[in-house]
Structure 1
Amino acid sequence: MIKEKINVKYYIRKDNQKIFFDYKKIAEPGEKAWLVDTIDRTEEFTAFTNKGKVSKPQRSKYEVVNEEAERKLQERSVLKAQTAIDLPRAIELAKVVDEAFKDKMGDLFLEYDYVEEGEFDDSKTPGWVTIKVKTSHSNWYQDVDNAPSTYYYQVPVEVEAQARELQAIRKKHQNDDTFSFWKCDYYKREVRVADHPNS
């Protein structure tokens, strides 16, 4: 018996009972997906046979849903097997990136006012390269005239390749509960680009 939590989200067209796993594919030629009347469902599977089949008590009444759960289980099993290779590599890369920060620990945060200083790009921070960008989704912005802050996460330019490889490994294992993200966490410089001070 294999114990693994697998969720399968699917859509059933109300007019013809066809099942789809990708909402964008429910529309037939000439239809708009958002206008198709559907029933949205999610089924959770937690027990599989040793051959990777959904256990009898948990089987969905829809065979395609069982097959999707089994496909996802196989996909996850492959990903978990790769953890044995990827995690040691990620830890090694994190050490290399962290070493590059040895003399830069006082430079981990930077506020950048794009109203006064213009649009931000890496040319404004010589020696640093952006590897990830995130925009704030805080509810605070709903009641003010300010634009949401954007955060640029940077590393020293000499470890760009290692940081990008590390980030790709971490992204690959996003939904893998066997991957220890904290073991391969790494220093990043945060550049907050905004039109207002951080309060």
Structure 2
Amino acid sequence: MIKRTIKVEYLRRRKDSKIGLTNEDLAEAGQKPWEVDAVDLAETFTLFTNRGKVSKTQASAYEIVNEEAERKLAELLDNLSSDEIEWDTVNNGSFSDDKTPGWVTIKTKTSHSNWYQGAGELHSPSLYHTQVPATVEQEARELQAIRRKHQNDFKFDFFGTEYAKRIIREADHENY
């Protein structure tokens, strides 16, 4: 899963409840865009599949809104670091740090999902590699140790000890 926060603002025309992303989308023949009587709405998405589609649990009732969220996510991911790994390589092969130059794996976690007990019996559990830029590896390991020490302390400020990271999924199956 890709976890990014994407907000999509859209409009609903009062007259007939037609949905559009802009006033221009809702303007009827001969009508000026600023003359459209519409309600401003917004939806926020935080979960996407590895293929960049809106998670079924968060999907909007309006396909145009889902498509805009997916477009915004693709645009965001395109603007990220140019040394991103090839996801197909990771999903279909074995992972190693040399496939992600400039990044260091500081933790690897195995999925314990119940999915593997039924539908996934022919698949091995997914691995999740937490990576940080190599330049801040030591600091990230120190923060990780502090967070681990306080993992059962509900008063501890985990947001204050958050660090920049990315999580790479290695699997032999799709993630739906």
If the length of structure 1 is used for normalisation, what is the TM-score?
A: 0.42
Structure of larger gyration radius: 1
Scaled by the length of structure 2, the TM-score of the pair is 0.47
More helix by share: 1
